[in-house]
Amino acid sequence: MRILTLGLNHHTAPVEIRERLAFPEDDQPSALARLVRDYGLSEAAILSTCNRSELYLAADGDGGLDQARRFLAETQGIDVQTLESHFYQLSDSEAAIHLFRVASGIDSLVIGESQILSQVRQSLETAQQNGSARLLLNELFQRSLRVGKRARTETDIGRGRLSISTAAVELASQVFENLERCRALLVGAGEMSELTAQYLVDAGVERLLVSNRTLARAQELARRFGGQAAPFETLSEHLAGSDIVISSTAATDYVVGPDDLRPAMRERRGRPLFLIDIAVPRDIDPAVRDIDNIFLFDIDDLEQVIAANRQEREGEIRRVQDIIDDELKQFLHWFNALGTGPLIRDLRQRAANLQEQELARWTAKLGTLSADDQKLVEGILRGYANKLLHEPLVQIREFANDDDGYLRLDTVRRLFNLDDAPGEEES
């Protein structure tokens, strides 16, 4: 059994590509069901955030990656080949290392941000609830959560308030000399918006307005931070009275476009409007950049703010990598041991099958054997088989202690032309 990962992230693809492969939370149960039911994958989990879309799979061989590509093409309606340069595909130890880096926060756009750990946990819970994360992916994700917790308790990688939201507010602070004279409009009322609201209030914005499709959620968020709520249907009416608009919804289509902003800008009479879109898929139509005095930034535009954060945390990244190395050794020991029992069983079964074939062949040549003679021949064949397998079986058990043991186990399977699908572990 192989662990496989197919995905893209902020390192490999711009936001306009990432948003095409985003999996909304409500769509994930059906997607997981299809991966297992229709595409022949043993286990599956989806990790979809503003910075990445990744499939984690357990499959009988590398063919699972081709199935994953076909799944993306058919479910997301995209030409996978045109996106091939943006994909990364990983297997076994590389897949584990990648997820450990993700969960620890060192693969995030904002190094050390805390949201990703809860997102990894939610990915696992969704897969568990839908029966697509069983033995292999459950252990992998549980181990990654342990890495994430250790990274945040044993290092300073998460020191301070770090998130996409903090970066967005920091960017706003660089544009406006004093946020205390700015009126902010927050579109969306999820976790990201909650963090943004806190940072905006801490920065001293003059007014905080929250708009969300569910008015009650907007009212609750506004109440907590001393702001006001606005019905989502009236969003366009509030653009003119805002200096900063930060949008982070789960919408699959644009919620703000040129037709919303042109009347607002006429009313503002040349005063600039600062827009930050931290949603994936994007909330604000990029075409609004063509309107005078509109300044739109998306999540990829936060790189300048984020670069300084990375430089400050280089030492902590190395400490986190030590934790990853430690946890990887333990995971690979478990992973290798998982394949050891089935391989030993299959080898013994192959030897038993060969004994039966040889006995039948010689019986046909020698004629009917007496019971004693047959027992003698069976004993000879069994003895030779046991002697031949003794050393390989000893080495196979030792492979569980090697970091690359899973590769050696796979080599043994190939040498003996065994079925790729292992059986149950030997007790």
**Residue 273: φ, ψ to 5°:** -125, 125
Task: Give the position of tokens 């045109």.
Answer: 82
- Nearest Cα neighbor of 142 from 335, 404, 8, 409 is 335
How many Cβ atoms sit within 10 Å of the Cβ of residue 149? Answer: 14
Full DSSP string of 263-287: HHHHHHTT--EEEEE--SS-SB-GG
Pick from 230, 163, 250, 174: nearest CA to 199: 163
Please list the active-site residues. 50
**Pairing between β-strand 88-91 and β-strand 2-9 as defined by DSSP bridges:** antiparallel
Report the alpha-carbon distance of residue 365 to residue 415 in Å, rounded.
30
Q: Provide the 10 A C-beta neighbour count for residue 364.
A: 8
268, HSE (Cβ side, Cα atoms, 13 Å): 22
Q: Identify whether the C-beta of residue 413 lies closer than 8 Å to the C-beta of residue 357.
A: no
* Helix 135-154 with 93-104: angle, nearest 10 deg: 40
Distance CA 319, CA 268 (A): 50
How does DSSP classify residue 214? S
CA–CA dist 181, 205 (Å, integer): 6
Distance of CA 125 to the CA centre of its chain: 13
Q: Quick count: other Cβ atoms within 10 Å of Cβ 281?
A: 20
Asked if residues 268 and 295 have their Cβ atoms less than 8 Å apart, the reply is no
**How many CA within 13 A on the CB side of residue 368?**
2
The answer to whether the CB of 65 falls within 8 A of the CB of 3 is: no
